[in-house]
């Protein structure tokens, strides 16, 4: 299984390859940006999976549902009448996962949504969305600077989450 470090490494290799070839191969940069985003998703999703594997009583039902990306359903029939289950999938945005993890394990954290790092995260999300969900009305140009910034943003977001949740810094 690949982890966030693999995705960061691949993003950096594609950026290096683009610079080494000194040619207009925008696909390399776009792929580098996507891998930068995937690194964050990998880090966050694996963290959620680790917490979901802990004993059920460590999290309230709605938190466990969030960790598992499941919908809470009240059972109103059969042998399980009057109980709840977490059977249906429910999409959770990456940013919401990050907010949850940070608040859960660092309840006194001040809002960081307006900070430069979060603005950079939103910028990465926007360019990732334009690459992943192209529209003919979106004119997309990708530069080496954007690819470099995407990699740095990915590393900084992962580092930020690690410090806020695990209280430790990571090496890249």
**21-48 residue pLDDT tens:** 876 778 899 999 999 999 999 999 999 9
Instruction: Kindly indicate the confidence band of residue 148, based on its pLDDT and cuts at 50, 70 and 90.
Output: very high
DSSP letter for each residue of the chain: ---HHHHHHHHHHHHHHHHHHTS--HHHHHHHHHHHHHHHHHHHHHHHHHHHTS-GGGS-HHHHHHHHTEEEEE--SSTTTT-EEEEEE----HHHHHHHHHHHH-TTPPP-TTSHHHHHHHHHHHHHHHHHS--TT------HHHHHHHHHHHHHHHHHHHHHHHS-----
> Rounded distance, CA 172 to CA 159, Å?
9
What are the structural domains of the chain?
4-45+92-166 (1.20.120)
Instruction: Kindly indicate the confidence band of residue 137, based on its pLDDT and cuts at 50, 70 and 90.
Output: confident
> Rounded distance, CA 17 to CA 77, Å?
59
Instruction: Kindly indicate the confidence band of residue 158, based on its pLDDT and cuts at 50, 70 and 90.
Output: very high
Check: CB of residue 90 under 8 Å from CB of residue 65.
yes
> Rounded distance, CA 10 to CA 93, Å?
24
Radius of gyration of the chain (CA): 19
Percent of the chain's residues with pLDDT above 90: 62
């Amino acid at each position: 299984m690949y982890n966030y470090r693999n995705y960061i490494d691949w993003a950096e290799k594609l950026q290096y390859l683009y610079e080494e070839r000194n040619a207009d191969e925008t696909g390399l940069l776009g792929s580098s940006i996507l891998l930068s985003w995937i690194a964050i998703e990998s880090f966050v999703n694996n963290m959620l999976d680790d917490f979901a594997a802990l004993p059920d009583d460590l999290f309230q039902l709605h938190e466990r549902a969030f960790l598992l990306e499941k919908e809470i359903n009240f059972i109103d029939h059969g042998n399980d009448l009057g109980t709840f289950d977490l059977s249906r999938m429910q999409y959770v945005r990456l940013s919401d996962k990050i907010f949850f993890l940070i608040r859960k394990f660092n309840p006194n954290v001040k809002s960081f949504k307006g900070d430069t790092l979060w603005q950079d995260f939103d910028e990465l999300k926007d360019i990732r969305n334009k690459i992943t969900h192209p529209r003919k009305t979106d004119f997309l140009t990708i530069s080496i600077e954007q690819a470099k910034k995407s990699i740095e943003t990915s590393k900084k977001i992962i580092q930020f989450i690690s410090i806020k949740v695990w209280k430790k810094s990571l090496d890249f």
